[in-house]
A and B are shown apart, each in its own frame.
Chain A
Amino acid sequence: MDYHSPASFAEASALAANATGITRFLAGGTDVLVQLRSELVTPDTLIDIKKIEGVSDITKNADGSWTIGVAATGAEMSEHPELGGDWPGVVEAMDLIGSTQVQGRATLTGNLCNGSPAADSVPAMAAAGVTVTVTGPEGTREVAVEEIPTGPGKTSLSKGELVSAVHIPARGEDGGDAYLRFIPRTEMDIAVVGVGVNLRLDGDTVTEARVSLGAVAPTVLLVEDCAKAIIGSTLDDAALDALAAAASAACNPIDDKRGTIAFRTEVAGVLAKRAAKIAYARAKGEQA
């Protein structure tokens, strides 16, 4: 196994482009090293991106948007004085990952690029409208988060490409987001269903909404019908029921050791309602 710690994304990209066999980027390593030790994936080339300048930075830009470095950890996000105020849903989704120890290493980018359909931060990011910068041999491109995973363990990144930054839009006025997941226990578990909701209000009425589901299909889903169900409403019971129905209808899950098709489909609707209520309360400036 070859281990590299390049000083720039261009160098990292070149190393990956020229590598043979299995290549992995090493961010927090909470997926890579676990898969290595359990003999699921033994990389031939390991490219540690943590030595690249600025990768741990969390920056609020002049326009109110955020840039999150690809090695910034869950703990650093939670501890940031302002990020959680703008995007509580994204931060709480990231914070759900693992234990205190895992939080000290795990990253948004690793969670996204590991390609797990159950990744917690991904529905929250998709709902928030997060994009990533992808650096490759051909230069850089901006990609929406929901375009990255293409199936369990698979991404749309081509050989030599890696994520070099994460961008969260400006929160703006009267907006709120939330993420909820279902696990059978209270922590240290993998989502059986995950729902991210992000919305904006005009008075009591929802004017913009993005609803995203995790763990109910081979990839994260951004469900337009869910958004439609609540846009124009005051999140009354009829709108919530329509939201739940749309969420359940969008599900395309599997039966596995973590949950059944029927269960995931039903609970996606339940969590969509609950998450929407929290996002709504946050948009109104209430504690939730």
Chain B
Amino acid sequence: MALDDRKSEFTFVGTRPNRPDGLDKVTGRAKFGADMSAPGMLHGAILRSPHAHARIVKIDTSKAEAHKDVKAVVTRADFADVPFKPGLEGEFWNVLENVMAGEKALYDGHAVAAVAATSALAARDALKLIEVEYEVLPHVTDVDKAMASDAPVIREGAADYSVPEGMHPNVVRYHESGHGDVEAGFAEADLVIEDSFVTEATHQGYIEPHACLGMLGNDGKGELWCTTQGHWIAQKTCAALLGIETSQLRVTASEIGGGFGGKTTVFIEPVALALSRKANRPVKLVMTRSEVFRATGPTSSASMDIKIGMKKDGTISAAQGVFRLQGGAFPGAPGDMTAMCAFAPYNLTNVKQVGYDVMANRPKQAAYRAPGAPMGAFAVESVIDELCKKLDLDPVDVRLKNAAYEGTKASYGPRYERIGLVETLEAAKAHPHYSAPLKPGQGRGISCGFWFNHGGETSVSLSLSEDGSAQLMVGTPDIGGSRASMALMAAEVLGIPYENIRVTIADTATLGYNDVSHGSRVTYASGLATIKAANHAVEKLCERAAASWGIPTDAVKWENGCAVPSGPNAGDFDPRPLADITAHMGSTGGPISGHFEATPEGAGVSFGTHIVDAEVDPETGKTAITRYTVVQDAGKAIHPTYVEGQYQGGAAQGIGWALNEEYIYGEDGRLQNSIFLDYRIPVASDLPMIDTVIVEVPNPGHPFGVRGVGETGIVPPLAAIANAVSHAAGVRMRQLPMSPPRILAALKDNG
């Protein structure tokens, strides 16, 4: 799309005002998912399978239904009745099957029935009255075992056309890409390293559990309040699963207490609506933490084989990777994304990557910041580090030597536009951290990381008030301070103060369709739409001024919040400030608004480079991260503090993933650690201050140069930390998390 409104000098953009939702959040006024109530509301609870894999022979709900406080009980049968949209298929069917089990329970925690009762306690007690007869089936939770010929079949016929013949039915999608001739490339190398790596599934760990309040009448009209990263997708999915018309369900997004990709789909929302339809009362559902771990969408676990050839001067002559991703009992593990991202930072002549999407008896994976990319980077960047070590080359110099730049043919196909990888590497090399001395027992690691970023369907509407203030409605839930960034961009165009703009996350009934807040798309796409919508309003403001001056509209321009004649020939008129025009808008043509709807395509890929120092206790295998620096290209940082927050958050979550977080399954296929005590996300005292460097190589696809920053920051940490730990421990760590028992065992094996 034409970007005639490109800007590089800014008044508001690049400043750091407080976020508009900040006061509400620190005072408790903000309303999160569980904070909404309605008259006559019931409380829902969900019965979950204790088995990893079992045929549901019979469900007897009669005792629960007879309970005096119970007003509704639902099972899968209450979803199957969909006269409006019979025969759900594709992803809707998968989501339905995940939201409420059909013939089989497919993982520990899979929902099998739900009740609505007059109190939360009664609902919980009523679950115990539901009798489920299971026929327990053999299960598999490990990705490599799930691909083996003797693995239990999760579901026949789930594979698509891409899967080569002869593979186990649990392999459901296959991806292969690359260019050049890797065998020839390996032959040219002075050193070839081949190695294998494993990562465990982790959870996004958002502090707010899933929560919603649903109301659905027998007339097919409903309302839903929920914590989500995207209420239009919730609307569309719930409508499909319940067989109602999309537009008859109005969905409002609450404030969100973290999502990181995990709230881009639905889990409890259709259940609350189904219960509500049956009870004819509003139903509130709030997950416990244990339910969040067992039955929402953690990331995939992975098993990977990497082979890279390097010349003595550091040139990578060939690179090849096989990435197997386990995504739970449904298709969707991002094996293709892992494969496409793994070598994306490098300008390679010969590269080949293969990705597998594998099903196992675990919860359906969901997105988690740059889904699939961190694992691949861990494997690839570990091998590059080992090559640098063996060839005695500086790891930053080697990456600079091979770095992709504008015009490079990416490992996944297209040619890059203007990108900022080289700039991040140069900034990392120049950073005092990179040359700071290390203490004995410490090691330093670096890694690059890549993420595509995304545009997506976007609608924004802006309306001006008589007093000259502005209301901006966006449809992308604010998961990282985006309301502040939107207000800054609108202020920049309108020329009115940041504080005079109120940004609202509009509900599904008051704005056109919006994709989910994912793919690092919000500041890019909703930002672009905000700029366009504000420009649209400015056009009308100029029209009103032109009319009042009796000159043509194109003889008026907008400058510093005022309509002014565009040049000396246009006439001599005093500037008309925005508030002066809006004060009279009722009598000069009516309300002034601007809006914009499109699917912006120029998201602009993003790269980062991380530097990490780690210290390993050789007697216990315990790791401390002693210093951390994130360098990442933001294109243009609209609100630098919130950009830094994204960088720091990516590093913090990466530290957890690298060191201690993991889904631990017992022999019985049950999740062993479904509470925060045993699922070890980092606590504040585990983290060093995380330094940030914002590199700004403007994205040609955005008027102000924005690239999304939300996801790239979690791509390098696993590898950078593994490299640091491997240097500190003197032994290569190939499995995540690098928990103390694993490190101590590796140290022992190493003598």
Residues in A with CB closer than 8 Å to B367 are none
Q: Tell me the nearest residue of chain B to A255, going by C-beta.
A: B741
With A182-B620, A182-B622, A184-B739 as contacts: A257 and B685 at CB distance below 8 Å: no
Answer whether residue A7 sits at the interface, using C-beta atoms and an 8 A cutoff.
no
Known: A257-B672, A262-B745. 15 other contacts (CB 8 A): A38-B290, A182-B740, A184-B622, A184-B660, A185-B660, A188-B683, A189-B680, A190-B677, A256-B672, A257-B673, A262-B741, A263-B745, A266-B744, A267-B740, A270-B619
Alpha-carbon gap, A174 to B498, bound state (A):
67
Alpha-carbon gap, A259 to B678, bound state (A):
11
Encoded as 1 (CB less than 8 Å from any B CB) or 0, chain A from 95 to 128 comes to 0000000000000000000000000000000000
Encoded as 1 (CB less than 8 Å from any B CB) or 0, chain A from 35 to 48 comes to 00011000000000
Min CB–CB distance A279 → chain B (angstroms): 18
Answer whether residue B686 sits at the interface, using C-beta atoms and an 8 A cutoff.
yes
Q: Tell me the nearest residue of chain B to A263, going by C-beta.
A: B741
CB within 8 Å of B: which of A187-224? 187-190, 192
Most chain A CB inside 10 Å of its own CB: which residue of B620, B660, B678, B686: B620
Q: Are B290 and A185 closer than 8 Å at their CB atoms?
A: no
Residues in A with CB closer than 8 Å to B680 are 184-185, 189
Q: Tell me the nearest residue of chain A to B618, going by C-beta.
A: A270
Alpha-carbon gap, A266 to B682, bound state (A):
24
Residues in A with CB closer than 8 Å to B744 are 262-263, 266-267
Min CB–CB distance A97 → chain B (angstroms): 12
From A38, A184, A188, B659 is in contact (CB under 8 Å) with A184
Answer whether residue B664 sits at the interface, using C-beta atoms and an 8 A cutoff.
yes
Answer whether residue A258 sits at the interface, using C-beta atoms and an 8 A cutoff.
yes
Residues in B with CB closer than 8 Å to A266 are 744
Min CB–CB distance A247 → chain B (angstroms): 13
Q: Tell me the nearest residue of chain A to B622, going by C-beta.
A: A184
Min CB–CB distance A98 → chain B (angstroms): 10
Alpha-carbon gap, A279 to B196, bound state (A):
45
Q: Tell me the nearest residue of chain A to B745, going by C-beta.
A: A262
From B620, B673, B739, A267 is in contact (CB under 8 Å) with B620
With A257-B672, A257-B678 as contacts: A184 and B740 at CB distance below 8 Å: yes
Answer whether residue A20 sits at the interface, using C-beta atoms and an 8 A cutoff.
no
Most chain B CB inside 10 Å of its own CB: which residue of A190, A258, A259: A258
CB within 8 Å of B: which of A54-73? none
CB within 8 Å of B: which of A245-269? 256-260, 262-263, 266-267
Encoded as 1 (CB less than 8 Å from any A CB) or 0, chain B from 709 to 751 comes to 0000000000000000000000000000001110011000000
Q: Are A259 and B741 closer than 8 Å at their CB atoms?
A: yes
Q: Tell me the nearest residue of chain B to A274, going by C-beta.
A: B619
Min CB–CB distance A50 → chain B (angstroms): 24
Q: Are A185 and B620 closer than 8 Å at their CB atoms?
A: no
Q: Are B685 and A258 closer than 8 Å at their CB atoms?
A: no
From A39, A258, A262, A267, B678 is in contact (CB under 8 Å) with A258
Encoded as 1 (CB less than 8 Å from any A CB) or 0, chain B from 676 to 699 comes to 011010110110000000000000
Alpha-carbon gap, A190 to B679, bound state (A):
11
Residues in A with CB closer than 8 Å to B290 are 38
Residues in B with CB closer than 8 Å to A18 are none
CB within 8 Å of A: which of B647-671? 659-660, 664
Answer whether residue A158 sits at the interface, using C-beta atoms and an 8 A cutoff.
no
Min CB–CB distance A238 → chain B (angstroms): 18
Residues in B with CB closer than 8 Å to A267 are 619-620, 740, 744
Q: Are B664 and A185 closer than 8 Å at their CB atoms?
A: no
Answer whether residue A186 sits at the interface, using C-beta atoms and an 8 A cutoff.
yes
Q: Tell me the nearest residue of chain A to B656, going by C-beta.
A: A185
Closest 8 CB pairs between A and B? A263-B741, A186-B685, A270-B619, A257-B672, A257-B664, A260-B741, A257-B673, A184-B660
Residues in B with CB closer than 8 Å to A190 are 677-678
Q: Tell me the nearest residue of chain B to A267, going by C-beta.
A: B620
What are 28 residue pairs bridging A and B, where the CB atoms are less than 8 Å apart in the complex?
A: A38-B288, A38-B290, A39-B124, A182-B622, A182-B740, A184-B622, A184-B740, A185-B680, A185-B683, A185-B686, A186-B683, A186-B686, A187-B685, A189-B677, A190-B677, A190-B678, A256-B672, A257-B664, A257-B673, A257-B678, A260-B741, A262-B741, A262-B745, A263-B741, A263-B745, A266-B744, A267-B740, A267-B744
Q: Are B683 and A187 closer than 8 Å at their CB atoms?
A: yes
Q: Is the interface of A mostly helix, strand, loop or mixed?
A: loop
Chain B residues proximal to chain A, CB less than 8 Å = 124, 288, 290, 619-622, 659-660, 664, 672-673, 675, 677-678, 680, 682-683, 685-686, 739-741, 744-745
Residues in A with CB closer than 8 Å to B673 are 257
Encoded as 1 (CB less than 8 Å from any B CB) or 0, chain A from 15 to 35 comes to 000000000000000000000
Most chain A CB inside 10 Å of its own CB: which residue of B288, B672, B741: B741
Residues in B with CB closer than 8 Å to A188 are 677, 683
Residues in A with CB closer than 8 Å to B660 are 184-185
Residues in B with CB closer than 8 Å to A258 are 678
Alpha-carbon gap, A188 to B660, bound state (A):
13
Residues in B with CB closer than 8 Å to A260 are 741, 745
Alpha-carbon gap, A249 to B222, bound state (A):
65
Alpha-carbon gap, A260 to B740, bound state (A):
10
Q: Tell me the nearest residue of chain B to A193, going by C-beta.
A: B620
Alpha-carbon gap, A266 to B619, bound state (A):
8
Residues in A with CB closer than 8 Å to B677 are 188-190
Q: Tell me the nearest residue of chain A to B624, going by C-beta.
A: A186
Residues in A with CB closer than 8 Å to B288 are 38
Alpha-carbon gap, A39 to B290, bound state (A):
11
Min CB–CB distance B71 → chain A (angstroms): 22
Residues in B with CB closer than 8 Å to A263 are 621, 740-741, 744-745
Alpha-carbon gap, A270 to B744, bound state (A):
12
Q: Tell me the nearest residue of chain B to A192, going by C-beta.
A: B740
Min CB–CB distance B292 → chain A (angstroms): 13
Alpha-carbon gap, A182 to B288, bound state (A):
29
Alpha-carbon gap, A189 to B686, bound state (A):
12
Q: Tell me the nearest residue of chain B to A262, going by C-beta.
A: B745
Residues in B with CB closer than 8 Å to A186 are 683, 685-686
Min CB–CB distance A262 → chain B (angstroms): 7
Alpha-carbon gap, A258 to B675, bound state (A):
13
Residues in A with CB closer than 8 Å to B659 are 184
Q: Tell me the nearest residue of chain B to A99, going by C-beta.
A: B683
Alpha-carbon gap, A185 to B124, bound state (A):
34
Alpha-carbon gap, A189 to B740, bound state (A):
14
Residues in B with CB closer than 8 Å to A257 are 664, 672-673, 678
Q: Tell me the nearest residue of chain A to B677, going by C-beta.
A: A190
Alpha-carbon gap, A257 to B661, bound state (A):
11
Alpha-carbon gap, A263 to B682, bound state (A):
21
Alpha-carbon gap, A262 to B673, bound state (A):
21
Q: Tell me the nearest residue of chain A to B660, going by C-beta.
A: A184
Q: Tell me the nearest residue of chain B to A256, going by C-beta.
A: B672
Min CB–CB distance B153 → chain A (angstroms): 28
Min CB–CB distance B218 → chain A (angstroms): 34
Min CB–CB distance B737 → chain A (angstroms): 9
Q: Tell me the nearest residue of chain B to A39, going by C-beta.
A: B124
Residues in A with CB closer than 8 Å to B745 are 260, 262-263
Min CB–CB distance A210 → chain B (angstroms): 23
Q: Tell me the nearest residue of chain B to A270, going by C-beta.
A: B619
Alpha-carbon gap, A256 to B620, bound state (A):
17
Residues in B with CB closer than 8 Å to A256 are 672
Residues in A with CB closer than 8 Å to B740 are 182, 184, 192, 259, 263, 267
Alpha-carbon gap, A182 to B741, bound state (A):
11
Residues in B with CB closer than 8 Å to A259 are 740-741
Residues in B with CB closer than 8 Å to A185 are 660, 680, 682-683, 685-686
Alpha-carbon gap, A184 to B661, bound state (A):
10
Residues in A with CB closer than 8 Å to B620 are 182, 267, 270
Residues in A with CB closer than 8 Å to B124 are 39
Alpha-carbon gap, A256 to B659, bound state (A):
17
Min CB–CB distance B366 → chain A (angstroms): 23
Min CB–CB distance A281 → chain B (angstroms): 19
Residues in B with CB closer than 8 Å to A270 are 619-620
Alpha-carbon gap, A185 to B622, bound state (A):
8
CB within 8 Å of B: which of A131-189? 182, 184-189
